[in-house]
Chains A and B, each alone.
Chain A
Amino acid sequence: MDIILSVRNLNAWYGEKQVLFDVSIDIPRYHITAIIGPSGCGKTTFLRCLNRLHELGQGNKVKGEVYFYGRNFKGNIYDPNVDPTEIRKHMGMVFQKPNPFPMLSVYDNVAIGLKINGIKDKKKINEIVMNSLKKAYLLDEVQDSLNKSGASLSGGQQQRLCIARAIAYNPEILLMDEPTSALDPIATSKIEQLLVELKKEFTIIIVTHNMQQAARISDYTAFMYLGKLIEFAPTEELFETPKHELTEKYITGKFG
């Protein structure tokens, strides 16, 4: 298994409250890894530790190592010499509620990531923007509304726009925080198909509270509970024969 991220003893706090306890996991490259668990188990916090977003909150703390074996970066992303901004360029993030920039057009939403990274050639930008929109299964639908505000699209389209925005500058990892929980079933299914297609080029880590979604699209599934990683296995294994009693209880709905 080709590992892209190696998390070792990750601990995280919201102020005084500890929410992650010694989480260690190896994320395989070019696969979809799903993280499931009940509310408050720390899965979103874990995700936000991977692109160093968690530490931006006031009073938040992170301890531990996350080794990233990227194309242009190899090492611990929490090393004191590392600039967090640089790390985030290797990882795209998509959030639960679609958040395209409403003050920018559809086109500019995708282009902005390129512009701030120093790409100035208009032709190149155009090529990448169109390509990203195409990869996100969105180009056909927005061909004629590229200049409209990013917020003028439907919910499902907005989320695909966010995906296009995230993949534009070619990150290696896509971090998705419950990307379809605010969408209707058809939009959800479109995005799930999209993700399965995208894993050919990106490693995808998706947090979801929908177990069936994890079962549908992921290759590996991690189950977290109360801030700890309980089980991590190939998806068919975890859903057919989970090894840990807690996992079995959660996925069969015998919790609480």
Chain B
Amino acid sequence: MKMFSLKKFYNLAFISICVIAFVLAMIPLAWILIEVIIRGISALSIELLINKANPPGIPGGGIANYIQGTIILVGLASLIGFPVGLLLGIFLSEYKEHKLAPYVRFFVEVFAEFPAIVIGIFIYVILVRGDIFRLFGLEKVCIGGFCIGATGFAAIAGAIALALLMIPIVAKSVEESLNLVPISIKEAALSLGMSRWKSVFIISISYARSGILLAYILALSRIAGEAAPLLLTVLGSFYWFTGLFDRIGALPLAIFTYGISPFEDLKAQAWAASLILILAILILNIGLKIIIKRKFAW
């Protein structure tokens, strides 16, 4: 009888410690959430969401252009980041015995841990300042009628920086999802007379499709909130989107610049922008996850 209550006590003690640890970890998280919600909601208004920002000095204005900017940057980044990440993930999972595999893996692992700001600097030097072109002794490179040179602070540079951040995240998640494809499924495909690449793209990808889509969402959520690389590549803008080679605004940048500004109304706008950003990420993660599980899972 005594032994039993001792066990019970240990059990209870352990569970209690877990709960306490959870609560402690959740407190700052909850606090942030509460602060953002309270301050964000009080600053939120329809005008804020519809209007673009005002040039510095003029009070008022909205954050609509920043929202547009984030959407464009993230969208562009995923155009590059997702396919490349997917292909890398496929390579890492399906071609483990290839000569280059250990190098690619090393590359992806290292890149995954890269500080975002370092990637920012890298793109800044290469693309924004155009050192890659000067390396070849050129001002610009023209293919047909399309010329490209040093971009200056530009949306395309920001998109590329975000893409570089995205690639290793997508690659690792895709690899993990594909690793879960049972060998029996792969062998069934091969024994039907499918070539290696067909069995990968038609069968393995199809089997792992919900995992792959989730990987995509994971990566999107990551880069949507990145400020550091954008600081060095697009710098920010108060205007609507004007072109790939022009500067562009983005929510994280707005939060940064407005947040450290001395003006109260701009600070309020920063809170509103934070709320929008967090809501977007939450909707993305929770909402799309539900949709994916319903439509793509089997």
Contact = CB atoms under 8 A, between A and B. Distances in A.
A86 interface: yes
B188 A88 contact: no
B195 A85 contact: yes
A116 B187 contact: no
Nearest to A171: B193
A102 B207 contact: yes
Interface in A36-67: 51, 53, 56, 58
Nearest to B198: A116
B298 A99 contact: no
B193 A102 contact: no
Given A86-B193, A113-B193, A101 B184 contact: no
Interface string B183-195: 0110111111111
A151 interface: yes
A92 interface: yes
Contacts of A101: 185, 188-189, 203, 206-207
B206 A104 contact: yes
Contacts of B113: none
Contacts of A169: 192-193
A53 B190 CA distance: 8
A117 interface: yes
B39 interface: no
A85 B194 contact: yes
B211 to A, nearest CB: 11
Contacts of A92: 191-192
A93 interface: yes
Contact of B187 (A53, A149, A151, A166): A53
Interface residues of A, number: 30
B51 to A, nearest CB: 46
Contacts of A85: 193-195
Nearest to B189: A101
Given A95-B187, A99-B185, A149-B298, A113 B207 contact: no
B209 interface: yes
Contacts of A149: 298
A113 B188 CA distance: 10
Contacts of B187: 53, 93, 95, 99
Interface string B138-164: 000000000000000000000000000
A90 to B, nearest CB: 8
B194 A116 contact: yes
B192 A112 contact: yes
B202 interface: yes
A53 B184 CA distance: 12
Given A149-B298, A151-B298, A116 B207 contact: no
Contacts of A103: 206-207, 209, 298
Contacts of B203: 101
Contact of A56 (B184, B190, B209): B190
A228 interface: no
Contacts of B264: none
A190 interface: no
A162 interface: yes
Interface of A: 51, 53, 56, 58, 85-86, 88-89, 91-93, 95, 97, 99-104, 112-113, 116-117, 149, 151, 162, 165-166, 169, 175
Given A103-B298, A112-B202, A116-B202, 16 more contacts: A51-B191, A58-B97, A85-B194, A88-B191, A88-B192, A89-B192, A89-B193, A91-B191, A92-B191, A99-B187, A112-B192, A116-B193, A151-B298, A162-B188, A165-B192, A169-B193
